[in-house]
């Protein structure tokens, strides 16, 4: 879709690459197909949300395409996704610098979830090192959390869940959305996992835990509290 988030496809100007481009348009992305090795990679421009290397169309040229993308100034910092036939999955070479792999035939919902996760990770990397919400301080470099200046120990998933809520204040997330963002789309556990972790966060953060609100019938959100008479911002 014109105006959508840009995604570069390195593949062929034919099937199955053209069907992939059509699917991305259905998901409101704006795909640019680069025929490899016939067309040059871009030398400038805004970094796309992802570069999808269509192994199905490229065959033996796929490895060279991955290496060229990583060396490219315009694309080198974008996440690289390999789209491969399911039977080729066990033989994929991750030393090519891949950030994710999608097996074909794929479902649109799976493709959308993986691209959203890559976008979110990129946004995470661009955020400030220390996230501040009310009395909470989360240091992304050291994984340290303080509440009112006092250090509090969290498990990795507790920390990731708290960080995700803190970086998206006031927004309500369903349990399913929290599972996708924190545990990943391939996690096989149920949504009760989210409830258990929310209870632990509230218990460990004391009064600050009151910022984590339950929205009945929907999910959870974190609403910043007032500190020294003024609402803290990220």
d(CA 117, CA 190): 19
Q: Provide the strand spans (E) within the chain.
A: 5-11, 29-35, 50-54, 80-85, 100-104, 130-133, 136-139, 144-147, 150-152, 173-174, 212-215, 219-222, 226-227, 230-231
Find out whether 152 and 144 touch, Cβ atoms under 8 Å.
Answer: no
The rounded radius of gyration (Å) of the Cα atoms in the chain is 21
For CATH 1.10.10.10, list the domain ranges present in the chain: 130-231
Q: Are strands 80-85 and 100-104 parallel, antiparallel or unpaired?
A: parallel
pLDDT truncated to tens, each residue of the chain (234 aa)?
445 899 999 999 999 999 999 999 999 999 999 999 999 999 888 889 999 999 999 999 999 999 999 999 889 889 999 999 999 989 999 889 899 999 999 999 999 999 998 888 887 676 678 899 999 999 988 899 999 999 999 999 999 999 999 999 999 999 999 998 898 876 767 788 999 999 999 999 999 999 999 999 999 999 997 633 333 333
pLDDT of residue 73: 87
Question: Whole-prediction pTM value?
Answer: 0.57
* CATH 3.40.50.300 applies to domain 5-125: no
d(CA 126, CA 151): 25
For CATH 3.40.50.2300, list the domain ranges present in the chain: 5-125
Q: Which fold has domain 130-231?
A: Arc Repressor Mutant, subunit A (1.10.10)
Tell me: cis bond preceding 132? Omega within 30 of 0 counts.
no
């Amino acid at each position: 879709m014109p105006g959508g988030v840009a995604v570069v496809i390195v593949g062929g100007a034919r099937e199955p690459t053209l069907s992939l481009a059509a699917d991305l348009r259905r998901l409101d992305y704006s795909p640019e197909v680069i025929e490899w090795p016939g067309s040059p990679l871009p030398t400038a421009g805004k970094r796309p949300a992802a570069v999808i290397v269509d192994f199905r169309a490229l065959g033996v040229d796929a490895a060279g395409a991955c290496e060229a993308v990583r060396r490219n100034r315009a694309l080198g910092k974008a996440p690289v996704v390999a789209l491969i036939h399911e039977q080729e999955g066990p033989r994929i070479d991750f030393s090519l610098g891949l950030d994710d792999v999608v097996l074909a035939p794929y479902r649109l919902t799976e493709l959308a979830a993986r691209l959203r996760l890559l976008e979110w990770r990129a946004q995470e990397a661009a955020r400030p090192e220390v996230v501040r919400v009310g009395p909470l301080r989360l240091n992304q470099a050291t994984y340290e959390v303080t509440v009112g200046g006092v250090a509090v120990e969290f498990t990795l998933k507790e920390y990731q869940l708290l960080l995700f809520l803190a970086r998206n204040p006031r927004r309500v997330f369903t349990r399913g959305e929290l599972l996708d963002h924190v545990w990943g789309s391939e996690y096989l556990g149920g949504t009760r996992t989210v409830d258990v972790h929310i209870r632990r966060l509230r218990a460990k953060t004391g009064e600050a835990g009151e910022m984590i609100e339950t929205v009945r019938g929907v999910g959870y959100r974190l609403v910043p509290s007032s500190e020294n008479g003024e609402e803290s911002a990220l």
